Amino acid sequence: MSHASTSPQFKANTRKALGDTQLQAALGHVRHRFIDKRAQAAARLPEFEALRDSARDIKDHVLAHLDLYLETYEANVTASGGKVHFARNAQEACDAIVGICQARGAKTVTKGKSMVSEEIGLNAAIEAAGMVPVETDLGEYIIQIRGETPSHIIAPAVHLTKEQVAADFRHTHRHLPAQRDLTAPESLLSEARGILREKFLAADVGITGANMLIAETGSSIIVTNEGNGDLTQILPKVHIVIASIEKIVPTLEDAAQILRVLARSATGQDMTVYTTLSTGPRRADDPDGPEEYHVVLVDNGRSAMLGSEFEEMLRCIRCGACMNHCPVYHAVGGHAYGWVYPGPMGAVLTPSLIGVDEAGHLPNASTFCGRCESVCPVRIPLPKLMRHWREREFERHLSPATIRAGLGLWAFFAKRPVLYRFSTTLGMRLLSIMGRAKGRFHWLPFTSGWTQSRDLPAPQGETFQAQWHRAQKAANAKPSVTS
Amino acid sequence: MSTARDDILSNIRRSLGVHGKEAPRLASVQNRLAQTPAGVIPARGQLEGETKTAMFIEQAEMVQASVARLASAAEIPAEVARYLREHNLPATIRMGADPLLTALDWNATSMALSQGPSTGHDLNAISVASAGFAETGSLMLTSGQDNPTTLNFLPDTHFVVLKTSDIEVGLESMWQRLRARFGKALMPRTVNFITGPSRSADIEQSMLLGAHGPRSLHILLIETA
C-alpha cells in the first residue's frame, strides 16, 4: 500500500498554498538560508566541481552494474550476520518489516528519517499491525504529531513556523505544565529531546533509512545531525534498514566521494555531525548494539527506470538542493506536489513511480530556469527529464484540450515563417501601444491563466527576430577594428 | 514461483539488456572492489605534522567542538575535572574498558567513575577515538567493549581522546586504518564519524545545538599515550 497522492489536484493545491500566509512565512527560510549555506560550502572547497563529476560517474557506474553490486552487497551483509529482504513493491516491503517486528513481539518501533518509508506508507502499516511507530527526527516527529507528510526531503517540517510547532507540542504533550514557556526554538528542541529519549530507551525495534549501502563491506551509511538515527539503531534489539535498490555504492572510497557532495549540497555543511556505518548485528563481545540486523531492499518501480530516458534520475542522492533552489517550490512548498517527493526531483520521480496519468501536472510546474540542474551534486539534467514527461503526457493525450489547441495554433504559425513574422510584429506593436501607460497588463483576453496571479509585462514594440536582424546589420556595417 | 529477489534482479538485467554473466561487466565490478580507486581528495587535509594538527583543530572548532591540547594521557583526569567544574556539571564520568582510560589515575580527582555502556542516565562520558582527520575535524570511533557506542550518543557531554599521531588527512585514510585493523571488506558493527556536537535546524532552519546526542563535544588532543 503506497502513500496516497493528491498530485492530480496539483493546481488546486498550489492555489491553497499561495494563499496560506503561515506557509509563505515559513518558506522564506528556504529561499535564503539553504541557498546561502550551499554556496558558501561549495566556495570553501576548490575541488567541489570535480567531486560532483566524480559522484555522477560513480552513480552511473553503479547503475550500469546494479545487478552485480546488489549480489555482492547481499553476500557481504549475510557474511557479517545480517539478512537482506528483497521487496518488489510497497506492500512486500511493509509486510517484511511488520513481519520482523511481530517476530520479536514489538510494541514500540522507533524510526530515523527515511523517505522510502514515506513512499511505501510504512507508518500506517505498522499501526495497522497494532504497533506504535515513533518518528525521532525532530522535523519528522513534528509532522507525525500533526498527521502530515514531509514537505521537504531533508527538512520535513520546513513549512511550519515555530509558533505552530509550539501549539502542537502543547496539544500533544498534555502531561507537561500548561504555562511552560515555548517561545524560543531551544525550548521546543529541549522538550522533544526529553520526550523522545524515553521512546528511544523503550523501543523494541529501530528502523533507519540509508544514505548509501556499500557493496564492498555490506555496510549501510546514515548521515544525521541530531543523533536520532544512531539512538534508533543502537538501543533496540533489532535494527531494520530500509533502502531503495539504487542506494548501492561499490566501495568505501566511493562512499567518501559522495559524502563530500551530499552534506554540502543539502545543508551547506562540510560533513554532517554523525556519519555512521553499520555492518551486521552486534559482535559476540560487544556491550551494546542490536542483536539482529535486517536490510529491506525496495524496488517499487526503479528497475523499470533503468535503461529508460529517466535512468539518470536514479543517480539522485536525496540532498534537496534542487527544491531549495526552485522558484516553484519557493512559491508553493512541498505539500502542493501531492505525494512524497516534491520539487524538481519529485516532478521527475513521482510520475515514474505512480504514473504520468496521476502526476502529469508536476513536470509542468517548472519555468525551466535550470537552477536545479546547476546545483545537483550528481548533475541530473532535471529540466530535460521534466521535458520528457511533458512529451509523454502530450503523446498520451493527457494534456487538456486548451493546451493542445493552443499548441496546435502556435504550430500552424511557426510552420509558416512569413506569416509568423507578420503576425508577431503586428501583435507586439499593438500590445506595446496598449500597454504603454503602465508597462504591464493586469488583464488581457485569453490570458487569465497568467494574469490571475501575476502581471504580464508589455512588449517594447519590436520582436526578438526584428531586433536580431537590426543588430546583425549594424555589426556588418561597422568597419573591422585593427590595432 | 519466482522470488522477489530473482524478479528484481531479472528486471534490472532486462532493463539494462544484460544477462549478468558478461565477462567485461564482471571484471569491471571485481576490479573496482579489489582496487578501490580513491577519486578526488581535497587538498585541504593533505598536510603534515603541526599544520595538519592545526587544521584539525580549526575545522573541529568551526563546528562548535572544543579542543584541549595535553602533553600526555596522564593529564586527562585533571582536564576532565576542570571542564566539568567550569561548566557546573556533576563530577561523574562513564567509560568503556579502553586501557588508555582505565590505566589513568582518576583518584587524584574527586570524580565518580563508572564503566560500561550507557544506560541512558549518564551525564558525562569519555571515549578514545581510533583516529581523526584534518579535512573536516572529524573523529572516528569504533564499537566494542573498549568504547561502547552508546557512550557516543546518550550522555550530555562527551569527551573524546585523540592522539595527535592519529590525525590523518581524510576519510580515505580512515578506510585504510579500518582495513589494516579488521581486514579487507571487514568492519566492526558500528563506525561513527563525529563532527561536532549534536544539532538540529528543523525549526525554521535555525541551527540549535543539543538535539538527541551530546550537547557538547570536548576533544582531548594528547601528544603521547
The CATH number of whichever domain residue B133 belongs to comes to 3.40.50.10420
Q: For position A4, what pLDDT does the model report?
A: 81
Q: For position B1, what pLDDT does the model report?
A: 61
Q: For position B20, what pLDDT does the model report?
A: 95
Q: For position A154, what pLDDT does the model report?
A: 95
Number of domains in chain B: 2
Query: Residues B147, B214: one domain?
Result: yes
A81 touches chain B (CB under 8 A): no
Q: Domain for residue B58, yes or no?
A: yes
Q: Domain for residue B8, yes or no?
A: yes
Query: Residues B119, B15: one domain?
Result: no
Q: For position A402, what pLDDT does the model report?
A: 78
Q: For position A445, what pLDDT does the model report?
A: 76
Query: Residues B54, B30: one domain?
Result: no
Ranges of CATH 3.40.50.10420 domains, chain A: 55-304
A95 touches chain B (CB under 8 A): no
Taking CA A262 as the corner, what is the angle to CA A22 and CA B150, rounded to the nearest 5 degrees?
A: 90
Classify A243 as helix, strand or coil.
strand
The residues of chain A scoring below 50 in pLDDT are: 1, 483
Over residues B110-152, the pLDDT tens digits come to: 899 999 999 898 999 999 999 999 999 999 999 999 999 999 9
> What is the 8-class DSSP label of residue A47?
T
- Range 87-146 of B in CB contact (< 8 A) with A: 96, 116-118, 120, 135-136, 138, 143-145
Q: For position A479, what pLDDT does the model report?
A: 64
CB contact under 8 A, B198 and A46: no
Distance CA B23, CA A311 (A): 23
Q: Domain for residue B187, yes or no?
A: yes
β-strands B124-128, B92-95: how paired?
parallel
The domain made up of A55-304 has a fold known as Rossmann fold (3.40.50)
C-alpha atoms less than 13 angstroms from C-alpha of A154 in its C-beta half-sphere: 28
> What is the 8-class DSSP label of residue B186?
-
CB–CB of B98/B128 below 8 Å?
Answer: yes
The three three-digit cell numbers of residue A134, written as one number: 515513533
A49 touches chain B (CB under 8 A): no
What is the span of the domain harbouring residue B24? Answer: 4-35
CB contact under 8 A, B202 and A137: yes
Question: Phi, psi (5° rounding) for residue B10?
Answer: -75, -30
CB contact under 8 A, A138 and B211: yes
Query: Residues B142, B202: one domain?
Result: yes
Query: Residues B103, B141: one domain?
Result: yes
Q: Domain for residue B175, yes or no?
A: yes
B27 touches chain A (CB under 8 A): no
Question: Nearest-CA distance from B64 to chain A in Å?
Answer: 10
Distance CA B162, CA B175 (A): 17
Q: Domain for residue B141, yes or no?
A: yes
A217 touches chain B (CB under 8 A): yes
Chain length of chain B: 225
Q: For position A164, what pLDDT does the model report?
A: 94
Q: How many CB atoms lie within 10 A of CB A131?
A: 18
Question: Nearest-CA distance from A476 to chain B in Å?
Answer: 48
Question: Nearest-CA distance from A170 to chain B in Å?
Answer: 16
Distance CA A209, CA A360 (A): 28
Q: For position A407, what pLDDT does the model report?
A: 83
Q: For position A78, what pLDDT does the model report?
A: 98
A54 touches chain B (CB under 8 A): yes
Query: Residues B107, B147: one domain?
Result: yes
Question: Phi, psi (5° rounding) for residue B146?
Answer: -65, -45
Query: Residues B138, B167: one domain?
Result: yes
Q: Domain for residue B152, yes or no?
A: yes
Q: Domain for residue B41, yes or no?
A: no
Query: Residues B79, B189: one domain?
Result: yes
Question: Nearest-CA distance from B120 to chain A in Å?
Answer: 7
E strand map for chain B: 66-72, 92-95, 112-115, 124-128, 131-133, 138-142, 157-163, 167-168, 190-194, 199-200, 208-209, 216-224
Query: Residues B24, B88: one domain?
Result: no
The three three-digit cell numbers of residue A120, written as one number: 511505501
A66 touches chain B (CB under 8 A): yes
Smallest Cβ–Cβ distance between B189 and the set A64, A197, A289 belongs to A289
Residues on chain A touching B9 (C-beta within 8 angstroms):
67, 70-71
B5 touches chain A (CB under 8 A): yes
Q: For position A408, what pLDDT does the model report?
A: 86
Query: Residues B61, B27: one domain?
Result: no
CB contact under 8 A, B9 and A254: no
Query: Residues B68, B123: one domain?
Result: yes
B183 touches chain A (CB under 8 A): no
Average pLDDT along chain B: 96
B166 touches chain A (CB under 8 A): no
Over residues B39-92, the pLDDT tens digits come to: 999 999 999 999 999 999 999 999 999 999 999 999 999 999 999 999 999 999
Residues on chain B touching A227 (C-beta within 8 angstroms):
153, 198, 211-214
Smallest Cβ–Cβ distance between B187 and the set A85, A227, A277 belongs to A277
- Range 381-440 of A in CB contact (< 8 A) with B: none
Q: Domain for residue B44, yes or no?
A: no
CB–CB of B141/B174 below 8 Å?
Answer: no
**ipTM value greater than 0.95:** yes
3-class secondary structure per residue, A383-411: HHHHHHHHHHHHHCCCCCHHHHHHHHHHH
> What is the 8-class DSSP label of residue A30?
I
Residue of chain B nearest A91, judged by CA positions:
B4
Sign of the CA dihedral with A231 first, then A236, A237, and A239 last? negative
Q: Which residues contact A339 (CB under 8 A, 6 or more apart)?
A: A3, A5, A6, A7, A346, A350, A354, A359
CB contact under 8 A, B192 and A278: no
Query: Residues B113, B202: one domain?
Result: yes
Integer angstrom CA distances of residue A326 from A349, A388, A390, B66, B206: 16, 19, 18, 37, 21
CB contact under 8 A, A197 and B120: yes
Asked whether residue B95 carries a pLDDT value surpassing 90, the answer given is: yes
Q: How many CB atoms lie within 10 A of CB A75?
A: 13
